[in-house]
Amino acid sequence: MKLENMSKEQKIAIIPVDEAIEKTKEYEKDINKYLREIKNCKEIKVKIIRKNGSKIDVTFVNKYMKQWLDEEIEILINVMKNEVVQLKKELLKMREAGEKNEQN
C-alpha cells in the first residue's frame, strides 16, 4: 500500500517505523566508519571529564596500550553495531507485519 493511499491513522503508525529504520541505517554507516578509523589510527586521544567538570587529555601512543585500547574499542563498537542491526531487523518485521495487516 502506498503512503498517499493510507489514512491519517495509518500514516501516523507507519512513518515513525520508517524513520526509525532510516536512523538505524545511518547509525550502521557511522559505526562502520568508526571501525575503519580505529583500525587505521596512529594514536588514541581520550578526554577524561571529572565530576567537578575539570578535563584531562590523555594520548595513548605506547604500542601495547594503544593495541589494547584499539581492541577494546573495536569490541564495544561491534556490540553497538550488532544492537543496531538487530533493531533494524525488528523494525523491518514490524513494518512488514503492518503492511500485511493493511492488505487483509
pLDDT by residue for the chain (104 residues), tens only, comes to 565 676 666 665 666 777 888 888 888 898 888 888 887 888 888 888 999 999 999 888 778 887 888 888 888 888 988 888 888 888 888 888 777 776 76
Report if residue 53 sits inside a domain. no
Check: CB of residue 45 under 8 Å from CB of residue 58. yes
How far is residue 46's CA from residue 60's CA, in Å, rounded to a whole number?
8
Range of the domain at 74: 62-96
Report if residue 41 sits inside a domain. no
Report if residue 13 sits inside a domain. no
pTM listed for this prediction: 0.55
Q: What is the pLDDT of residue 54?
A: 94
Check: CB of residue 7 under 8 Å from CB of residue 78. no
Dihedral sign, Cα of residue 51, residue 54, residue 57, residue 58: negative
